[in-house]
Amino acid sequence: MSIDISQFLQTFYEESFEGLDIMESELLNLNVGSADKETINTIFRAAHSIKGGSGTFGLSSVADYTHVLETLLDEMRDGKRDVSQYSVDLMLQSVDVLREMLSALQSSEDLEHDRIASSHKQLTDLLSEGSSSSNEIDESVSSVEGNKENQSNGGWLIDFTPFPNLMKTGNDPVRIIRELDELGDLKIELDDEKIPSTDEIDPENCYLSWKLTLQTEADEETIKDVFAWVDDECDLKITPLVVSGEYTGPDRRDSQPVGQDRQIANRRSASKEQSSIRVGTDKVDDLINMVGELVITQSMLHQLHDVEEFNQHTLERLQDGLAQLEQHTRELQENVMRIRMMPISFAFQRFPRLVRDLSNQLGKSIELKLTGEQTELDKTVMEKIGDPLVHLVRNSLDHGIEMPDVRSEAGKPETGTIELNAFHQGGNIVIEIKDDGAGLNTNKILQKAKDNGLVKETDTLTKEQINDLIFQPGFSTADVVSDVSGRGVGMDVVRRNIRALNGTVDVSSSPGVGSVFTIRLPLTLAILDGQLVRVGNETYVVPLISIIESLQVKSEFVNAVTGSAEVYKLRNEYIPILRLYEVFDIEPDTKNLTKGMLVVVESEGQKIAIFVDELLSQQQVVIKSLETNFKKIDGLSGATILGDGTVALIADIVGLYHLYQKNIVPSELKVIHGGGVAA
C-alpha cells in the first residue's frame, strides 16, 4: 500500500501554523510561577502534533527541534519543572523559529541553520540545567528516556482496546503496533470476540482489541507517546511486566483490521491553493437549503413557461414566483457573503505577542485590551487590514504611551492601556485603536508641517486638520527614529492601504488623555452601500459611508470666496461646494444651487459639498472594476450595474476633491470672463 503523502503536506502546514498560533496565545496566557496545567497541556498537544506530523512527512529538522520543546513542556506538565519567565520567553522564541522553519520548508527555501542551532542549544541548555523542583532528574538531557523513575524491568503489558470509531478519525491500530514493535520484542494477542456477524459489520468500525507484551528498555512515557494520537479514542492500560512471560499470540498479519485502507481517505483532503478558507458546515448547509429553495422556485416558474395565455390566476402565480425568486436571491447573496466572513480575532490574535515584545523592548508597561473579537468581516478585507493595524498599534505603543516614570508624574497609572475594539455600525465595520498616552502634540505637528512646507506659515488650521497632517507622506515628529517607528513612512501608507479598501481612517486626540484612531471599512469589497444621485442624464453612486448629510441649499448660506470658490456655511463650518457637472464636464438640469441638492461628504477629515441635480434611491451595488477592460479614471472608483442593466459610475470622494482642487485654479482666472457661476 503506497500513498502519496505529499498531498497532505499542505494541510500539515496549515495545521501546524494554527498549532503555533495556539501555542503562542497560550504561552502568553501562562502565568509565571503558577501555571495552569490545562494551559500547558494545550501547548504540549500543539507541539506534539507538529512533532508527529513533521516526523510523518520526514521533516526531521522540525521534528528534532520540536522534540526538545516537547520534552521541556512535558516536564512542566508533570510539575517537574517550574514555569519561569525565562523559559516562557525561550519557548515564545522557539515558536518563532518553528514558524520560520515551517514557512521556509513550505516555500522550499533554505533553513537558517545557525539560528535554529542556537535556539536549539538554548533549549537543551535549559533542559540540562534541571529545575528547582526536580526530584528525580539527574543527568537526563533532552530526552525523556533518561527519566529513570518510570523505567520498568524490561517490559510492559499493554491492554489496547480501541473504540469502534478509531479508524474514522484516521488512526490505524496497525501503525501503532508496528511502532511498538520497533521499540523491542513484541508479542501480540488479538481479541476478535466483538466482531459481529458479516451482515451487521460496519467496515469502518474497529471491533478488535489487543493484548500486547513488549520486551523493551523504553519507559512508560515512550510507550504513551506511541498512543498519544489515540489516547482519547481507546481504553489503554499499561502495566509493567515484572515476570517476562511468553505469549503465543496469533500472527500479526491476522490482526489487520477490515477497512484499514480507509484511514487516509477519511482524512480531510488537502487544499491545493495557498489561500483556503475554513467554512463552518452550518453555513454550507444553509447554502444548500437555499439552493434547494431556488430550484423549487425555478420549477414553479417553469410551469408558467408553457402557459399560452395569462389569466388572473396564472398572473398571480407568476408574481408569487418572482417575489420568491427575489427573496431567495437576496438570501443566497447574503449567505455567500457570509462564507467569506471571518471573525476579526484572526487579525487581532497577533497583537498580544506584539505588545508584549515591544513593551519589553521599549521598557514600557502596557496592557492590551481586545473587545469585539467576534465581529465578522470579509476575508480579503481582513488580509489587507492586518498591516495597517500593526502599524497603528506599534505607533500607539511607541509614540502614544509614555514611559512609566512620565506617566506616574502625570498622575496616571504606570501601566498604559491600549484598547482594540471592533464593532459593526450601519453596514460598516469600525475598528478603534485607543491608547491612554500623551495624545498628539498639535504644536509640534504644526511646526513640523511648516518646516516641511506642508503648511504655509500664515495658514490657520483647526485641531482636526492638524491631527490629520500625520497622515501626510514623509511626516514624523518622533525625536528619535527608532526600530519601532518614526521613519515617517507609515501613516500615509496606512491611510493609502485603508483607502484602497474603500475605508477611512481618522484620528482624534486630546493632550494628556490619549488618542483614538478610528478605521471604518466596508464589510466586503464586492458590495457597497451607495446613494444614487443624478446629474443631467447621468447617474452616479456616492458611497454611503462617506456621506454625512444631504440638504437643500439656502442661498443666504452660500458665499463665493475670491469670487469663484464657493463655500456653504453649515452650522459654523465652511464647506467648499463642488459642482459635479463642472468636475465631470457634463450638462446638468440646473446650475442654480437652490434647485438641486448638496450631498455633504467627508473624506480624510475634509468635508466637501457635492452639488447634484437630484437624489435617487439608496441601494447596495456590486462593485465592478473599470480597470479590467479600461483604465483608472480620476474621481471614479469603479462602476456598477443597476437594476435596469445600465452602468452607473461610482464616485471616489478623495479623487473628486483632487479634481476639484485642480479645477479651482483655472476658474479663478475665469472670473474675468464672468465665469464664477452664481446662484
Partner 1 sequence: MTDAVAVAEDKENEDTETREFLTFMLAGEEYGVDILRVQEIKGWDSVTNIPNTPDYIRGVINLRGTIVPIIDMRLRFNLEQLEYGPTTVVIVLKVEKDSETVRTMGVVVDAVSDVHDVPTSQIKASPDFGTTVDMEFVKGLATVGEKMVIVLDIDHMLNSNELASLESIVNE
Residue owning grid cell 467648499: 576
Minimum distance between the CB of residue 652 and partner 1, rounded to whole angstroms? 12
Q: Could you tell me how far CA 14 lies from the centroid of its own chain?
A: 14
DSSP 143: -
Minimum distance between the CB of residue 628 and partner 1, rounded to whole angstroms? 7
Q: Residue 46 is which amino acid?
A: A
- Tell me the per-residue interface mask from 537 to 576 with partner 1, x by CB under 8 A, - otherwise: -x--------------------------------------
Give me 582's grid cell: 463642472
Residue with smaller CB distance to partner 1, 188 or 648: 648
- Tell me the per-residue interface mask from 415 to 454 with partner 1, x by CB under 8 A, - otherwise: ----------------------------------------
Binding to partner 1, residues 301-360 (CB under 8 A): none
Minimum distance between the CB of residue 530 and partner 1, rounded to whole angstroms? 15
Give me 34's grid cell: 503558577
Residue with smaller CB distance to partner 1, 407 or 534: 534
Closest CA to 617 of 643, 638, 593: 643
Residue with smaller CB distance to partner 1, 165 or 620: 620
Minimum distance between the CB of residue 666 and partner 1, rounded to whole angstroms? 14
Residue with smaller CB distance to partner 1, 251 or 630: 630
Binding to partner 1, residues 480-539 (CB under 8 A): 538
Contact between 8 and partner 1 (CB under 8 A)? no
Give dist(CA 540, CA 493) in Å, integer.
Answer: 28
Q: Which helix (H) or strand (E) holds 268?
A: none
List 5, 323, 336, 647, residue binding partner 1 (CB under 8 A): 647
Q: Which helix (H) or strand (E) holds 21?
A: helix 9-29
Q: How many residues bind partner 1 (CB under 8 A)?
A: 26
Minimum distance between the CB of residue 471 and partner 1, rounded to whole angstroms? 17
Give dist(CA 262, CA 402) in Å, integer.
Answer: 60
Minimum distance between the CB of residue 669 and partner 1, rounded to whole angstroms? 19
Among the options 147, 171, 205, 395, which is catalytic? 395
Residue with smaller CB distance to partner 1, 198 or 630: 630
Give dist(CA 679, CA 677) in Å, integer.
Answer: 7
Give me 478's grid cell: 518622533
Q: Residue 511 is which amino acid?
A: P
395 included as an active-site residue = yes
Torsion region of 160: left, alpha or beta (phi above 0 gives left; psi -120 to 50 gives alpha): beta
Minimum distance between the CB of residue 526 and partner 1, rounded to whole angstroms? 13
Binding to partner 1, residues 76-115 (CB under 8 A): none
DSSP 624: B
Residue owning grid cell 486626540: 509
Residue with smaller CB distance to partner 1, 514 or 635: 635
Give dist(CA 234, CA 427) in Å, integer.
Answer: 49
Among the options 24, 26, 67, 70, which is catalytic? 70
Contact between 162 and partner 1 (CB under 8 A)? no
Minimum distance between the CB of residue 54 and partner 1, rounded to whole angstroms? 37
Q: 518 pairs with which residues across the strands?
A: 432, 506
SS3 content of the chain, % helix, strand, coil (to 5): 45, 20, 35
Residue with smaller CB distance to partner 1, 257 or 655: 655
Binding to partner 1, residues 580-639 (CB under 8 A): 583-586, 624-636, 639
136 included as an active-site residue = no
Q: What is the 3-state secondary structure (H, E, C) of 277-298?
A: CCCCHHHHHHHHHHHHHHHHHH
120 included as an active-site residue = no
Residue with smaller CB distance to partner 1, 631 or 673: 631
List 157, 230, 393, 648, residue binding partner 1 (CB under 8 A): 648
Give me 66's grid cell: 520540536
In a 13 Å sphere around the CA of 304, the CA atoms on its Cβ side amount to 17
Alpha-helical segments (H) within 463-546: 463-468, 491-500
Catalytically active residues are 48, 70, 395
Residues that bind partner 1 (CB under 8 A): 538, 583-586, 624-636, 639, 641, 645-649, 659
